[in-house]
Amino acid sequence: MVTANPRHDWNKACRRLLRPIARMLLRAGITWKEFSELAKQSFVEVAGNDYGLAGRPTNASRVALMTGLSRREVKRVRDLLEAEEAEMAPQKSKIARILSGWHQDPDFVDADGNPKVLAADGDRSSFASLLDRYAGDLPAVAITKELLRLKLIEHSGKNGFRVLQRSYTGSATDPDILRQMSTALHDHGQTLAWNIDAERTGPTRFERMAFNANMSRRAVDNFQRLITERGQAFLEDIDAWLSEHEPEEMATERADQIKLGVGVYLVMDDEN
């Protein structure tokens, strides 16, 4: 149903989607004033990048008109954004890369697709080879101690290692985890924004939910186990499909590159 005041609906929806963001920011000690500056930068960025004519960036006057900022403030924000270092593309954490490689790379799985118990050193199927391939420039001794400390691997026999987990969720202070969190919110938001855009140039993107607002708290543990098992299995299937269909040679032109994937998350909310 269309209401007489769609702006009221937008404001209400905006407050709702901002609540979890405010919750995270307050826990991190980030004030509304800092968030206000970040929001201003995002408005200028999006207005400048998405609303230009003939493929050119939007001029300052139009950005000012769209955002409600003065032209002087638009210039200040643009100068600030241009002065920042180029944002690094989100990367999987090194630990996540190691675990993923151990579960997917043909050199480190058996004939049934299960991760092998790896000898510490040796041929291309050794633990040392795994770290050399997926840990980058991290010292092998340090990353091994960390994997053991986190109980992601264990010693096996006299001189080997067994992997215990397929995935890893780290601390909220871990830069990789912060990037992962922001990427998850960004990607879901991009899908939602695309789907409600009346001028989009293609079909809606898949976005579905299944929930019941009348569940008992006693069901939480069982539901969490269900989602962990089935969600992980689903994501492993998707991960395998993406790996199978990844081109052997990376596209040289950025226009040929695209990120594809899917996210799964558990819904549990007292606010309904």
Q: Which of 242, 236, 240, 233 is nearest to 260 (CA)?
A: 242
Higher pLDDT pick, 252 / 108: 108
Q: Looking at the predicted structure, is the pLDDT value of residue 88 above 70?
A: no
d(CA 266, CA 102): 26
Residue 252's Cα: distance from chain center in Å? Answer: 24
Domain assignment present for residue 172? The answer is no
Average pLDDT over residues 246-265: 77
Q: Which amino acid is at 143?
A: I
Higher pLDDT pick, 96 / 35: 35
pTM for this predicted structure: 0.61
User: Torsions phi, psi of 50, nearest 5?
Assistant: -100, -15
Q: Which amino acid is at 13?
A: A
> 93 vs 164, 172, 205, CA distance in Å?
17, 13, 27
d(CA 95, CA 131): 10
What pLDDT is recorded for position 252? 53
Ranges 60-69, 73-82, 220-229, 253-262: which has the least confidence: 253-262
Alpha helices in the chain (DSSP H): 6-27, 32-50, 60-67, 71-83, 94-104, 127-134, 140-149, 175-195, 220-245
What pLDDT is recorded for position 91? 45
Domain assignment present for residue 34? The answer is no
User: Phi-psi region for residue 104, left (φ > 0), alpha (ψ -120 to 50) or beta?
Assistant: alpha
Q: Which amino acid is at 255?
A: A
Average pLDDT over residues 205-214: 93
Tens of pLDDT, residues 148-171: 988 899 999 888 999 998 877 665
Q: Looking at the predicted structure, is the pLDDT value of residue 237 above 80?
A: yes
Q: Looking at the predicted structure, is the pLDDT value of residue 2 above 60?
A: no
Domain assignment present for residue 257? The answer is no
Average pLDDT over residues 43-51: 91
Its domain, for residue 113, covers 94-163
Average pLDDT over residues 99-108: 90
Q: Looking at the predicted structure, is the pLDDT value of residue 63 above 90?
A: yes
Higher pLDDT pick, 41 / 53: 41
- Are 205 and 263 in contact, with CB atoms under 8 Å apart? no
User: Phi-psi region for residue 151, left (φ > 0), alpha (ψ -120 to 50) or beta?
Assistant: left
d(CA 49, CA 265): 30
What pLDDT is recorded for position 234? 92
The tally of domains found in the chain comes to 1
Domain assignment present for residue 110? The answer is yes
Domain assignment present for residue 104? The answer is yes
Average pLDDT over residues 74-88: 77
Q: How many CB atoms lie within 10 A of CB 72?
A: 10
Domain assignment present for residue 122? The answer is yes
